Structure 1
Amino acid sequence: MEWADEGVVLGVRRLGESSVILEVMTRAHGRHAGVVRGGRSGRMRPVLQPGNSVSLVWRARIEEQLGVFAVEGGQLRAARYMGSALALNLLGAAVALTRLLPERDPHADVHDALALLADHVADDAVGPGLLALFELSLLAELGFGLDLSRCVATGVTDHLAYVSPKSGCAVSAAAGEPWKDRLLPLPPFLSGALAAPPSPQDVLDALRVTGFFLARHVYGPRGMPAPDGRERVIAILQRLSGPSPQ
């Protein structure tokens, strides 16, 4: 068995004296693991850092085996964000979410969203908003996608201001006014209206929306909390914009 693909590094585990087990989110083969011989060498350690993109060839005698990776570096991003607590927590939250996907189950959109986040994770103005968009993509891939394209009550596509916690659909400002205390806020960038980087408060509102549905459909049924990195991102954003209810 053999295939070639590209992927984003999620993490490594030590194997013996010189090798590692590499976990990657590949574009065509999903979340996948394999042995990298010599992965603890000085040449390979900088390549196998979380958030880096790599080119891979996977080989195994049969499909069910762990297999062996041959790895070449691609976009080596890790050095850009190693000193940023916000960037490391953004990436950590996204990696933890990616690990909820079934192993070896293709999710090209999640790979692309993760690579985009990794590209901008060191940009404090853009990275946090991309985490919210990544969570939106992951919800869709898990079968719990939100419909933020039009108002569920009237069908209009403009002046969308809320998300219904019952249906996961957008609600316009006018239709939602009588029930606004029961609805979730919908920042414009979450529905695709992005003219400029979102404010910290807009990102907090977006993470409130995605966090609500992740808790309902993903964390709750699994009996698990949200990733620590996600909570740290929220804390950092709250310091920038003031408290926001979760």
Structure 2
Amino acid sequence: MEWSDSGIVLAVRPHGETSAIIEVLTAQNGRHAGLVRGGRSRVLRPVLQPGNRIAVTWRARLADHLGSFTVEAEHLGAGAVMEDRAALAGLNSACAVAVMALPEREAHKQVYDGFGIFLAALEHEDVWPALYVSWEAGLLSDLGYGLDLDTCAVTGVVDDLTHVSPRTGRAVCREEAAPYLAKLLEIPGFMQGSGTIEPGDIAMGLALTGYFIDRRVLWPIDRQLPEARTRMIAELERVGRL
């Protein structure tokens, strides 16, 4: 068995004295793990960092084996955010959520493409938090749990949609939401294409996508949102970007 693809490093863990097992998010083969011999060497260690883009070739005797990767650097962008604690936390959160939520060896091209857009924006502190929220919303959609933010679930109107039902994932207009505010989740304007990010919008967006990833994706497989996501939220609060 053999295939080649382009991928984003999600996680790296040591294996033996010199090797590493990595997980990559690939364009055509989804989230995939494999052994990299010599992965802890001085040559490969800078390449095998979460967020870096690499070209990978996977080989195994049988399809259900772990297999091994040969890797080659494509774009080593992870180093650019090492001095920005919030951006690094955002990168770590996206990688951890992808590992937790995406089924292994199942292609999700839209999630992969969205991850690339998010990575490209990490050096822009006023941009990437909203893109992160949009990426999580896209992940939900690609997994079959997309939020319906286009029309009110009660009246069918398309204007003044302010909240989401935690039961259905569908939007509710302001008038219909008023009696149930304590039970509903808020929709930030940028998720509806307003073009502006108001104070509190990122916190609203993270609460919204986090709720549905937790309940619909992770709970059924006995998992919970990763600690890396909690640390990202704390960093965004620290620097005043929530």
When the two structures are superposed, what TM-score results if normalisation uses the length of structure 2?
Answer: 0.89
Q: How does 1:1-246 map onto structure 2 within 5 Å?
A: 1-100=1-100, 101-191=102-192, 193-196=193-196, 198-239=197-238
Q: CA deviation at 1:241?
A: 5.1
Instruction: Indicate how the Cα distance of structure 1 residues 65 and 87 shifts in structure 2: closer, same or farther if over 3 A, else same.
Output: same
Which region of structure 1 is more displaced relative to structure 2, 225-234 or 204-213?
A: 225-234
Aligned length: 241
Instruction: Indicate how the Cα distance of structure 1 residues 15 and 180 shifts in structure 2: closer, same or farther if over 3 A, else same.
Output: closer
Aligned partners of 2:110 and 2:61: how far apart in 1? Answer: 29
**What 5-or-longer segments of structure 1 have no aligned partner?**
none
Aligned partners of 1:47 and 1:26: how far apart in 2? Answer: 16
Is 1:55–1:71's contact at 8 Å kept on the other side of the alignment?
yes
- Paired letter, 1:234: I
Aligned partners of 2:60 and 2:222: how far apart in 1? Answer: 35
Aligned partners of 1:240 and 1:19: how far apart in 2? Answer: 37
Please tell me the root mean square deviation across aligned C-alpha atoms, in Å: 2.2
Secondary structure of residue in 1 paired with 2:149 = strand
Which region of structure 1 is more displaced relative to structure 2, 141-150 or 19-28?
A: 141-150
Is 2:19–2:37's contact at 8 Å kept on the other side of the alignment?
yes
Q: CA deviation at 1:240?
A: 5.0
Q: CA deviation at 1:183?
A: 2.2
- Paired letter, 1:190: M
Secondary structure of residue in 2 paired with 1:99 = helix
Is 1:200–1:240's contact at 8 Å kept on the other side of the alignment?
no
Which region of structure 1 is more displaced relative to structure 2, 146-155 or 210-219?
A: 210-219
Is 2:89–2:235's contact at 8 Å kept on the other side of the alignment?
no
Aligned partners of 1:75 and 1:150: how far apart in 2? Answer: 40
**What 5-or-longer segments of structure 2 have no aligned partner?**
none
Q: CA deviation at 1:229?
A: 2.1
Q: CA deviation at 1:91?
A: 1.6
When the two structures are superposed, what TM-score results if normalisation uses the length of structure 1?
Answer: 0.87
Instruction: Indicate how the Cα distance of structure 1 residues 66 and 216 shifts in structure 2: closer, same or farther if over 3 A, else same.
Output: closer
Q: CA deviation at 1:206?
A: 0.6
Q: CA deviation at 1:31?
A: 0.9
